[in-house]
Structure 1
Amino acid sequence: MQISNTMFEYSKNEIISLTIAFIVLSISFSISSVGLNAHGFISILPIVMIGVGLGFMLREIGQKFVAMKHGCEAEFRAWPIGLLIAFASSFIGMVFAFPGEVKVYSDNITDELNGRIGIAGPMANMFLALIFIVIASLVYVLTPHSQIFNLMFLICTVGFSVNSFLAAFNLIPVYTLDGIKVLKWSFKIWIVVFAIAVIMMLSSITIGAENMVMMFVG
């Protein structure tokens, strides 16, 4: 069974893997935010699902797009052990996200192509994080007057934090993460992108996305 459009083909196994990884990551980031508070978990889960869902899917689609653009077959494969690590680590308030990776099938894949495919994921997360913080800044002044805008603001600030973290984490140069692929391709590109991602992540942790918006809008 194949589900396809003009650019992509998704196998049934790939769709199942993406769905499982999305659910586990959403639950993990929710637990890391509110712990075992049932009411807090139920409240924040839908919000986290938007931030994680968009970030996770855009990351995988970006990498698949780059691979297919260069004539390679590519398929996302979930890593069960990595998903278990993500879930278990959420109870200490920090998600170590190893959901899986886009497997690229090619006889002649170079370090450069592998690096370009790898960096597409974190770049997608960083781009989405910036979109979230811009939208949050635009709707901030309207939050006192509308519950809808207040919800949008909350979704966007969470989205910025989650996607900044995903970008920085996935650029760590260790096995299964994108960072090792980018580093093998170009140290200069890796260090620049990694530094920007880390700054974004640390800003969300130390300053907070809400306070960042307040600083932007004055």
Structure 2
Amino acid sequence: MFKFTSSEVRDLIIAFIVISLCFAIANAGRDVNAILSLLPLIMVGVGAGFILHELGHKFVSMKYGYWAEFKLWPQGLLFALITSFLGFVFAAPGAVYTYANYMTDEINGKISIAGPIVNIILALIFLGIAVSVYQSALYSETYALIFIVCALGYSINSFLAAFNLLPIGNLDGSKVLNWNFGIWIVTIAIAGIMTVLSMTIGVQDLVRIILGI
């Protein structure tokens, strides 16, 4: 059964707001009006991506009988804010801490990979919706808005998956790699390709390629 402490809920809300702001700044630059316009749209992708990523870790931890709780990392939030002004986001606002006297590399790896897998699935869902509404978005402002939200959702979730799978420090990738190299290489390759596609050809052209137009 999912249980949350009041401090955990507070930390999740703070991290969600600040990380959303960071992605808005990274995409809009220092234009305040553009940031404010983009922020609500980005919050959908970040809200789904960030919150469900952390809940993925928490759910698998609790599935194995461990207590798990998200805790904010203030220094990580500050660093994310600083890097956003450079055009990218070092997204490490906090982490789900699993409390266990002993844990195998396999269980630790499965707990760690849950978050990036959630992001990959969400990115594909956003992409699927973007594909389904693209034609209508050409003639409808409502569908155009939905397409923009989904394009941002795809890009952000792809990036979050790829970033967290990097085998650096305490990121998820280090623990997945310690558990199973094959699973790590496949997941980071998928997330990496999805991220590169969003950064190079862009989501709109990717959708057009999928639709064959």
Match of residue 124, structure 2, among 104, 120, 130: 130
Matched, 1:90 2:84: yes
Match of residue 181, structure 1, among 159, 166, 175: 175
SS at 1:9 equivalent? coil
Residue 216 (structure 1) shift: 1.0
List runs of 5+ in structure 1 lacking aligned partners. 1-6
Matched, 1:198 2:192: yes
Which position in structure 2 is the counterpart of 1:34? Answer: 28
Report if the CA contact (8 A) 1:100-1:176 is conserved: no
Distance 2:65 2:102 in 1: 10
Match of residue 69, structure 1, among 63, 71, 79: 63
Distance 1:210 1:140 in 2: 8
Which position in structure 2 is the counterpart of 1:152? Answer: 146
Which position in structure 2 is the counterpart of 1:119? Answer: 113
Residue 14 (structure 1) shift: 0.4
Q: Which amino acid aligns with 1:160?
A: Y
Distance 2:105 2:73 in 1: 23
Which position in structure 1 is the counterpart of 2:165? Answer: 171
Structure 1 stretches of 4+ moved >6 Å = none
Q: Which amino acid aligns with 1:51?
A: G
TM-score (norm 1): 0.95
Q: Which amino acid aligns with 1:188?
A: G
Which position in structure 1 is the counterpart of 2:102? Answer: 108
What RMSD in Å do the two structures reach over aligned CA positions? 0.8
List runs of 5+ in structure 2 lacking aligned partners. none
Distance 1:204 1:110 in 2: 36
Identity %: 51
Q: How many residues align?
A: 212
Matched, 1:19 2:19: no
SS at 1:97 equivalent? coil
Matched, 1:54 2:48: yes
TM-score (norm 2): 0.98
